[in-house]
Chains A and B, each alone.
Chain A
């Protein structure tokens, strides 16, 4: 089981090129998980103690508004990474995440990883570099949507 997870993690683009010893360390914090359609994966305000590598499925990142109900701010699918609040104090989720369809993922224990990163800053730096790249992509996507380019001029 652990070998399979290790293989899956080493093949994932997010961890591509990472030293095998670090893959092994990360695998120690990983587990397989599945969410049914409609299942809430994370909820705003709750402790951010995990993050997920989506293997297959579709997840809506949502924010609840009193006037319009839940608004989808992003959709994540095969290969995407869900959640980075486990990395940043106060380690609380800022949004909701709901499985739109049956979703299979690898869950990574945030506390376990934080401890390993504290113990080995090289691992911490490698992970931060990878998360920065995701944050950069999502920020660019958000900025583009802020422009509302399809609106009437």
Chain B
């Protein structure tokens, strides 16, 4: 069953309110999803889409890098990073890749449907903490989505930062996320944007090569740089080493980690990473804090 109309929604609200009488309220607030109507669905690529949700309270506050648990009624729940503008609290935006059973069902969502939301959870990108620094944002694949809120916030406070560099790698040209927005950022005089793809046919006029090959081409002062990285773990591993080779201190490199998140509040232990829980102590970590774990296998 999916929550597809007002009747279903009203029924669910009734059920939730009935349940509330028997469950501890403090647990309820974090473990019970709230139902958000879908305001808009956009297809970004052949397998990635963005849904705009309307917060029932009228606004939703979050910090760049945080995530929500999104619940498809009767199907399951998944952790999805918030990808919208933190300044626009009246719309909650998530960009999702249709890859598993829940997200494939989410692909079918349309305006007026409802989905459950718990959150926001987790730590955030050090946007406010990096005032005065050059900022290097390195994203791979759908890893651009969790970083987009930080780009919005950085650009909204542009005069507080030095250079802002975005390096983005995708699988092929048709996998490039937020293409129009990337073009807009690239056209700005106060931001440097480089895009590369892993493979392309001869009609592609952009760069081909892994995202790490963009690091030597980017203009930033390594001694005064904060780097934020999000993408597949192996991509982050090589990116960190290349940034360090360029002179960026490990303490100034931040990564967003991903594991199987379930409860979102550090109870269940599914996302345990060494002595920390990614849902609570992450997903954004300074690399220096997890350096030893990062290279450890089977964690």
Contacts and interface: CB of A to CB of B under 8 A. Distances in A.
SS class, residues of chain B in contact with chain A: mixed
Interface string B169-202: 1110001000000000000000000001011111
Contact of A62 (B140, B170, B171, B202): B202
Given A60-B202, A62-B202, A71-B202, A149 B234 contact: yes
Nearest to B238: A144
B7 interface: no
Contacts of B97: 152
A151 interface: yes
A152 B99 CA distance: 7
Contacts of A77: 207, 217
B204 A72 contact: yes
B286 interface: no
Interface in A94-118: 98, 100-101
A69 interface: yes
A122 interface: no
A60 B208 contact: yes
A72 B175 contact: no
Contacts of A74: 208-209
Interface in B194-251: 196, 198-202, 204-210, 212-213, 217, 231-232, 234-235, 238
B201 A69 contact: yes
B112 interface: no
Nearest to A71: B201
B141 interface: yes
Contacts of B204: 72
Interface string A128-153: 00000000010011001101111111
Given A69-B201, A150-B169, 4 more contacts: A140-B238, A149-B235, A150-B175, A151-B171
Q: 7 tightest CB-CB pairs across the interface, nearest first?
A: A70-B202, A150-B141, A150-B171, A149-B232, A72-B208, A75-B207, A75-B208
